[in-house]
Homo-oligomer: A and B are copies of this chain.
């Protein structure tokens, strides 16, 4: 997606060999016009998959999920909540997610009634790196018998294994921009 590529190239910062800093337009300050263009583009890519609901995880996934759901004709959004511990409740689906960024294990959870069995789920997130968050959301969907019809991502770190692993599972995955490497502070992007 050209507008996102340009924002990454002109405003994004590469740190070290694996950090893509885009908090000036995506996950601390949000460029609202770009956000809604990203939502529209994700909607175009997944409209044929007829999602009933968009699933994301708090916090920074919420904005792009809402923008995509709006462009899909205002389908509902469910955002999984993060916690440190497993909750004892038969009404809650939950999955463990290891965060490489924060070097700790989190639990993500959703009240089961908000993902009724059979709902066609589109998973949306701002970033894809090791794929743990997406794998966790897929595990939640499996627990409530909801098919995952696709995964839409803002920025994928193509040099990390998340995308490859998810594609190997056969799920339809589409990312608006793919970072192939970070070299000397420069962010290298795959061609569209």
Please give the residue numbers on chain A whose beta carbons come within 8 Å of chain B beta carbons, in ascending order.
23-24, 28-33, 35-36, 58-60, 62-63, 66-67, 69-70, 74-79, 81, 110-111, 113-114
Contact = CB atoms under 8 A, between A and B. Distances in A.
Chain multiplicity (copies): 2
Given A30-B66, A32-B70, A36-B74, 11 more contacts: A24-B114, A28-B110, A29-B76, A29-B111, A32-B76, A32-B77, A35-B66, A36-B70, A58-B60, A62-B63, A63-B77
A77 B33 CA distance: 10
A161 B168 CA distance: 54
Nearest to A81: B28
Contacts of A75: 32
Contacts of A81: 28, 59
The 8 A-B residue pairs whose C-beta atoms are closest, nearest first, are: A59-B59, A58-B59, A33-B74, A29-B114, A32-B74, A30-B77, A62-B62, A32-B69
A62 B81 CA distance: 14
From A23, A24, A66, name the one whose CB has the most chain B CB atoms within 10 angstroms: A66
